[in-house]
Amino acid sequence: MSPALRAFLLDDEPPALRRLARLLEATGRVEIVGRATDPEAGLAQVAALSVDVLFLDIQMPGLSGFEVVERLPAGPMVVFTTAYDRHAVQAFEVNAVDYLLKPIERERLDRTLDRLERLRADPARGELRATLERLARALRAPAALDRLASRVGERVQLVDVAQVTHVVARDRGTYAVTAAREYLLDATLADLERKLDATRFLRIHRGTLVNLAWVGELHADFGGRLLLRLRDDRRTELVVARDRVRALKERLGL
C-alpha cells in the first residue's frame, strides 16, 4: 500500500476548509500536515513542511490561488479547489492540472487522489510544475477587450469587438472597421494586438489586424501577393504580408 499523501489545505473560508479536511481524512489515504485560511501564512507553513500536495482555493483575499502558485516553493503538487467558471476548469484539464469543483464530491476526490499517487512517483513531475505556473500566469492575465472606445469630441462610443471586421493603422490614426463604418480609436495597433483576444484577431500586415471570424476567402493577385477577402457587404480585400502568410494559414487550418 502506498504511503499516505502529505497534504496541506489552504482556503480562506473555514467551513470549506473543515469540510475538505473531513473528506480527505475519511479516505484513509491522506495525512493532513497543516491548514491555513491566510495565503501568506499558508505559504510560510508549506515552505517549512514536507508536503506532497497543496489543496488550494483560487478566490482568496490578499493573494489569489494563482499568486500562491507563483510563490510556492518547489515540490508540492497542486489541486485547485474552486467554484471557478467552467472555462477555467476546462483549461485546468487541458493543461494536466487537477481541480476539485465545489461542493467537492467523494467520488471525484478519489479520482484526484488516484492521480496524485501516480504523479508522486513520476520523474516528469517537474514538467507538470512548469505547466502549472504558465497556466496560473495566463489565467491571471487581464481579460481580453470585448469593446473598443471611439472618442468623438466629448462623446465616447463603444464598439462591440465582435462587429469589428479589422483594425487598420493609416494617416497617423488607428481605425476599427465594421461592416457599417469606421471608428477612430485612441490606441496604437500594437496596444490593440496585446489587448484583443489573440484567438480571434491576427496581425496580417504591419498596419492590419483582422478578425478571423470575418474571413471569407483567400486568393492570390496577379503580382503573387496573397489577398484576404472579408465576408462584409463590400467584400473588402486586405493584403497579407509575406511573412504573415504561414501564421494566417495555420490559424485557418489550411
What are the boundaries of each domain within the chain? 5-140, 147-251
Whole-angstrom distance, CA of residue 123 vs CA of residue 114: 17
Q: pLDDT 10s per residue in the chain (254 long)?
A: 678 999 999 998 898 899 999 999 999 999 999 999 999 999 999 999 999 999 988 877 788 787 888 788 877 888 888 765 554 554 454 343 577 877 788 898 999 899 888 888 765 555 555 666 565 555 555 667 788 988 877 788 899 999 999 999 998 899 999 999 999 998 888 888 888 887 889 999 999 999 999 999 999 887 778 999 999 999 999 999 998 898 898 888 77
Grid cell digits, residue 142: 487581464
> What Cα–Cα distance (Å) separates residue 53 from each residue in 38, 84, 131, 202, 224?
17, 20, 16, 39, 57
**Helix or strand holding residue 17 (H, E):** helix 14-27
Contact call for residues 89 and 79 (beta carbons, < 8 A): no
State the fold for domain 147-251.
Answer: OB fold (Dihydrolipoamide Acetyltransferase, E2P) (2.40.50)
Cα–Cα distance measured from residue 231 to residue 214, given in angstroms and rounded to the nearest whole number = 5
- Beta bridge partners of residue 202, listed in sequence order: 210
Q: Which residues partner with 63 through β-bridges?
A: none
- 5-140 maps to CATH 1.10.287.70: no
Q: Examine domains 5-140 and 147-251 and report if their fold is the same.
A: no
Whether residue 29 contacts residue 5, with contact meaning beta carbons closer than 8 Å, is answered with: yes
Does the pTM of the predicted model rise above 0.75? Answer: no
